Structure 1
């Protein structure tokens, strides 16, 4: 079926779509399927598709980044817990006494003396 609709003649101008039509050299069979006047709508839809695809890639990249950061936070939390447990063990009185003995210090065997202050008026 041949296209019988004729557009009103316009004056020849060097527009973008005329330039595209000239360089793409659309033959008569192609121009029956996709007319040049639909080219702006087609380009707009192609632009929207590119935006959609780009947005999808951006979102997937952000999800991967979030998962990576969550794993890193979990590792840091485990390191913190381990270091805190090690610190609590090293700060016990018996462990401090062992380390002090290495430096030549000895633990006092005498009980501490309580000094009381007498109030004077």
Structure 2
């Protein structure tokens, strides 16, 4: 025959208490989020960490955007400077090539008193049979 035993009480499920964020508690006490949003509206307090993360990402995004715009402005400025230097180089090279011509050199030498010979220089022609072996 079975013995009588005491009926055991079912154990209540253990509900883990959500760990409260000490930073949120501190900010709530110092700034007074409950007064700002109302005591019945706890949504901003519960999602404060997400709101701060999104705010950080937005600030980061804005910073990158400003940096990209600054780089584009610098690239435009450098491109204009390079175009200006290229044009200056082309004109200087053209002036140099022009100054190397005989007519330009003779104009510059006339100021010193030198003149070109009237007769052109003689060309010395050596016949092949006159060369020494």
2:63 alignment partner, SS class: helix
Partner of 2:90: 81
Larger radius of gyration: 2
RMSD: 2.6
Distance 1:79 1:10 in 2: 71
How many residues are paired up?
113
Unaligned runs of 5+ in 1: 1-6
Residue 21 in 1 paired to residue 28 in 2?
Answer: yes
Q: Which residue of 2 aligns with 1:56?
A: 65
What residue ranges of structure 2 are gaps of 5+ in the alignment? 1-15
Which protein has greater RCO, CA pairs closer than 8 Å, 6+ apart?
1
Inter-CA distance 108–41: structure 2 relative to 1 (3 Å threshold): same
Structure 1-normalised TM-score?
A: 0.76
Alignment match, 1:67: 76
CA deviations over 1:2-52 (Å, ceiling 9, x no partner): xxxxx94758x8x33322222211235615154323111111100100111
Alpha-carbon separation, structure 2, partners of 1:75 and 1:30: 60
